[in-house]
Chains A and B, each alone.
Chain A
Amino acid sequence: MEAFTVVEAVVAPLDRPNVDTDAIIPKQFLKTIERKGLGKHLFNAWRYLEQGGQRMDNPDFVLNQAAYAGARILLARENFGCGSSREHAPWALADYGFRVVIAPSFADIFANNCVQNGILLVRLPADVVEHLFHEVAANPGYRLRVDLPAQEVQTMGDSRYAFPMDAGHKHKLLHGLDDIQLTLRQEGAIRAYEVRRRQSAPWLFRDE
């Protein structure tokens, strides 16, 4: 997994609350047995238009507008990533090129899945997010700098916004760690737990 330190990039605004994972990546793209290649289907229903059986870019959708070309930071509203647990949502965001999503709040399962895929979720107060939406609208090509070690969003002017971060998640993102290796260091503890549980609750083991 790609380690995360600092990202400075164009910000794309997605001005809707409760953006669900069905909207991020619709079900017809969940039939893949691969992790890669989902970026072209990101926000499929909003991003493309069907006309006379032809698929074309929807010019009204933010990712199709020149000002946001190369955006790696997504600015969103509250409860981003709600709904289904599909990890295809962060896979699609990452495959498109997003490394950061900024919003007032995120859904729990989505937030977990992002950490597994090197995507940093930045929680900022709703009034700060509102302010950033205005800044993006007023300044074409608006950029932000997101500094994970410092836990700060920095504007190209002089504003800085601190964001909260779970210490474990921060460590994992900074180092791009694979959890399984880390967990297997506890192999002895897992085995010992299983021995105790086989004694106290044998019905939990179908091979008993």
Chain B
Amino acid sequence: MSLAKRIIPCLDVTNGRVVKGINFVELQDAGDPVEVAKKYNEQGADELTFLDITASSDNRGLIFDIIENVAKQIFIPMTVGGGVGTCEDVRNLLNAGADKVGINTAAIKNPDLVAEAASRFGSQAIVVAIDAKKVDDHWEVFTHGGRNPTGINALDWAKKMVKFGAGELLITSMDKDGTKTGFDNILNKLISESVQVPLIASGGVGNLQHLVDGVKVGGADAVLAASIFHYGEYSIQEAKAYMSKNDIQVR
């Protein structure tokens, strides 16, 4: 089979700029979104994910300008998430040029939002993001960066979201996020084998072997990483060369 595993750099944006920081504290300016997106496109990124972490509602509209500007110049798929709460939000982001929209907390408050958005815009446009944390012998869905438990079993939730029309799942391990010790491959494998839609692994990448393990051990269809690319530790080309050397199909 020749479908390539995807490498997706994730860009956190706030107030119209790309930022980087550990655990969302001490955010550092990392440049203009269009320039950063261009750089990753030139390096061979398979997709881009933008996460809008703008806290104040005053500046939320800026994300639409960013997406519009990026979409005018860069011709690879783009996913946008962060604060998506209504079908109207989904529509506006797709109209601005996003190909897929990520829904996270809003899906927990109102699961029907996923069903409604999927039937209006197609499953291929709806990514459900799940932040999961290990509790005893299972994984639970958390919100607000892992601070708020929901009491929902992550595997059950993943299956439910696919049934509701999610075309893809973005699984972030809250235990691994920011630790640079690799994905939670046990969690990813559990979910990947239980659903038919593609799974994007997220949270914990510290080196290139982690990307390989995400695919080979965790069964991910795509791997998402932020810091290893932002800080220039590795380029996308290096990541692809390493994966290829490990018999993983890349573009």
Partners in one complex: no
Interface residues of A (CB under 8 A from B): none
Which B residues fall within an 8 A CB radius of A? none
